[in-house]
């Protein structure tokens, strides 16, 4: 057995209260094995303890963490191993790939420098030897033009390329165990597919074991041999992947499998974990929207270009959005899908004039938003709002939730005084499923899903008619994602909102959208009602996107 975790407990010291040290128990007696040349997946929602369990292996935990139990790696207990020996193990025998490559790669060093460092440190290679080996590693993980990319900085690479660089660094010393912590969560479906295939091939080639951490059982079903399901710091079920998908034994496992949106079915509401655990019946199929609803937004020939320096005096044009046309009806949702770099987010931001357009028209009540200025544009802005992808970055950390919600009302003079605005903020929090007590807290006191609800409440303070939702559920685990998607549908039904829903997740787009716009390299390559597009895509690119969606274990 390569790795054996036995009765692992992890607690975090929270400080003294009444003379007693307070502790939060995050992992409660977890035990499982990782055999040689196999993939074991740790699955669960945010807060389940899966990442804490994995980071305990190499003690990559904060100083206030306390671990007990046994972690045996090739028979050696890592909990009893001195820091000096652990440092020698890290990167050489056991390596890690984390969720966000941009925060894991050093922005001030080139890719080549960061690849060479473990080769020189652990394998004792000379700089020239390390450079040659690093170039081979980049080629092995599928980075185009590896010689040129060696001199690139992380920000010059796409998200998928950054994750490939992280995998190359992790594999540099040919470790026996690779810990991959949500390595595909932030990537679009085609890049996710490439990274999963790459990790599978490299695992077989180097005969290493993989501990794969994820909240998405669709991904887990395609890459793992064994699955360990965790909730609230405990193991709920562990079994071979075929058994987990064919006959899950635990109610929580069944709930995780069932709460993800489907490419083939479209219920009126998604079932969430608690619904499944309580044994509630699945919802009926969603009803179609009124096809004759009035058009609220008409986009004609929208274009956006960026210019870059070329040579000493020259400029080069990059056409990010090329001639986009669509209509959005009241109470309807337009889904916008495509890979990273397809132009979908740029298109959404250009609609809002967060990027100034290069050309085209955006007609709202017959008026071109792109030609408005001054007070007219200020009045119109409140009617079209945006919810961004990252709820951790879109809320001001120095503002309480009350300040966050009241500020836009003060700017746009909604409500006669502070008391009325505060009452409205309280009502909106309750509408998005948050307690009134949240008003006096700060963003860091909430989970990602709760922050996204607050971001939605902030948009609603201005009584908008259109929401642009830019990857607004992609950073959330499947259960919280289902809650937020249900909330968005409820708000749409109650308030008659229209959505432009930008996403790389086609299953989510199928659930929430009425019509879909498929973008590639700034162009709209296909546009159709959601049912027609899913059943009979006309373009190869659309078929490629659908084919890349993880579907779980297929036998």
Task: Give the model confidence (pLDDT) of 386-435 as tens digits.
Answer: 988 777 778 899 999 999 999 999 988 888 899 999 999 999 998 888 88
pLDDT score at 402: 93
Number of neighbours of residue 543 by Cβ within 10 angstroms: 13
How do residues 490-526 score in pLDDT, each as one tens digit?
889 888 999 999 988 888 899 999 999 999 989 999 9
Q: How far apart are CA 292 and CA 133, in angstroms?
A: 62
The encoded tokens of residue 417 equal 């005084």
Phi/psi of residue 420, each to 5°? -65, -40
Considering the entire predicted model, what is its pTM?
0.81
Between β-strands 65-73 and 226-231, what pairing exists: parallel, antiparallel or unpaired?
Answer: unpaired
Q: How far apart are CA 317 and CA 309, in angstroms?
A: 9
How do residues 147-176 score in pLDDT, each as one tens digit?
988 999 988 887 678 888 888 898 888 889
Q: How far apart are CA 259 and CA 18, in angstroms?
A: 43
Over residues 132-136, the mean pLDDT reads 92
Q: At what angle do helices 189-206 and 159-171 cross, to 10 degrees?
A: 10
Locate tokens 């790389």: which residue? 504
For 397-439, give the DSSP string: TTS-HHHHHHHHHHHTT-SSSHHHHHHHHHHHHHHTT--GGGG
Q: Is the pLDDT of residue 260 over 80?
A: no
Number of neighbours of residue 424 by Cβ within 10 angstroms: 17
**Residue 111 host element (H or E):** helix 111-123
Provide the CA 82 distance to its chain's centre, in angstroms.
36
- Cβ atoms of residues 380 and 364 within 8 Å: yes
For 115-184, give the DSSP string: HHHHHHHHH---HHHHHHHHHHHHHHTT-SSHHHHTT--GGGS-HHHHHHHHHHHHHTT--SEEEEESTT
* Domains within the chain, CATH numbers bracketed: 1-85+191-245 (3.40.50.300), 94-174 (no CATH), 295-547 (3.40.50.300)
pLDDT score at 283: 66
Give the percent of the chain with pLDDT over 70: 97
Contacts of 421 (CB under 8 A, 6+ apart): 406, 409, 410, 414, 415
Over residues 427-456, the mean pLDDT reads 86
At residue 2, the 3 state secondary structure works out as coil
In 338-383, DSSP assigns E strands to 359-364, 367-368
Q: Is the pLDDT of residue 266 over 80?
A: no
Q: How far apart are CA 125 and CA 293, in angstroms?
A: 68
How do residues 310-350 score in pLDDT, each as one tens digit?
777 788 888 989 999 999 999 999 999 988 778 898 999 99
Residue (of 501, 434, 473, 517) closest to 260 by Cα position? 473
């Amino acid at each position: 057995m390569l790795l054996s975790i036995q009765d692992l407990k992890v607690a975090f010291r929270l400080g003294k209260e009444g003379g007693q040290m307070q502790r939060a128990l995050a992992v409660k007696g977890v035990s499982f094995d990782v055999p040689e040349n196999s993939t074991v997946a740790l699955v669960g929602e945010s807060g389940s303890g899966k990442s804490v369990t994995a980071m305990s292996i190499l003690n990559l935990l904060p100083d206030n963490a306390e671990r007990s139990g046994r972690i045996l790696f090739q028979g050696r207990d890592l909990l009893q191993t001195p820091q000096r020996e652990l440092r020698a193990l890290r990167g050489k025998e056991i390596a890690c790939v984390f969720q966000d490559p941009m925060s894991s790669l050093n922005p001030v060093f080139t890719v080549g420098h960061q690849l060479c460092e473990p080769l020189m440190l652990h394998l004792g290679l000379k700089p020239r030897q390390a450079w040659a080996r690093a170039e081979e590693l980049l080629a092995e993980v599928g980075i185009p033009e590896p010689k040129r990319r060696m001199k690139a900085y992380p920000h010059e690479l796409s998200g998928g390329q950054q994750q490939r660089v992280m995998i190359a660094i992790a594999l540099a010393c040919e470790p026996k165990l690779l810990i991959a912590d949500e390595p595909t969560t932030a990537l679009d479906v085609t890049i996710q597919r490439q990274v999963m295939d790459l990790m599978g091939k490299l695992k077989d080639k180097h005969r290493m074991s993989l501990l794969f951490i994820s909240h998405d059982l669709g991904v887990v079903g395609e890459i793992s041999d064994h699955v360990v399901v965790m909730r609230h710091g405990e193991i709920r079920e562990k079994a071979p992947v075929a058994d987990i998908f064919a006959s899950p034994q635990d109610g929580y496992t069944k709930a995780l499998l069932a709460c993800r949106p489907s490419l083939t079915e479209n219920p009126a509401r998604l079932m969430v974990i608690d619904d499944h655990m309580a044994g509630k019946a699945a919802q009926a199929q969603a009803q179609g929207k009124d096809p004759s609803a009035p058009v609220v937004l008409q986009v004609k020939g929208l274009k956006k270009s960026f210019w870059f320096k070329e040579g000493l005096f020259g400029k080069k044009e990059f056409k990010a959005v090329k001639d986009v046309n669509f209509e959005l009806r009241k109470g309807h949702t337009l889904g916008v899908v495509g890979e990273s770099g397809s132009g979908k987010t740029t298109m959404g931001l250009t609609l809002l004039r967060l990027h100034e357009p290069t050309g085209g028209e955006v007609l709202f009540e017959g008026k071109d938003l792109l030609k408005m200025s001054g007070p007219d544009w200020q009045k119109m802005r409140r009617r079209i709002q945006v919810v961004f992808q990252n709820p951790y970055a879109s809320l001001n950390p120095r503002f309480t939730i009350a300040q966050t919600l009241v500020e836009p009302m003060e700017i746009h003079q909604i409500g006669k005084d502070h008391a009325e605005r505060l009452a409205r903020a309280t009502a909106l929090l309750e509408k998005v499923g948050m307690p009134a007590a949240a008003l006096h807290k700060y963003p860091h006191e909430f989970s990602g899903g709760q922050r996204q609800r607050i971001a939605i409440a902030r948009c609603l303070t201005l009584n908008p008619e259109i929401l642009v939702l830019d990857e607004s559920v992609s950073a959330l685990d499947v259960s919280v994602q289902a809650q937020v998607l249900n909330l968005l549908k409820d708000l749409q039904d109650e308030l008659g909102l229209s959505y432009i829903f930008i996403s790389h997740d086609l299953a989510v787009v199928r659930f929430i959208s009425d019509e879909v716009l498929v973008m590639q390299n700034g162009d709209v390559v296909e546009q159709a009602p959601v049912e027609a597009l899913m059943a009979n895509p006309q373009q190869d690119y659309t078929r490629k996107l659908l084919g890349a969606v993880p579907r779980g274990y297929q036998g």
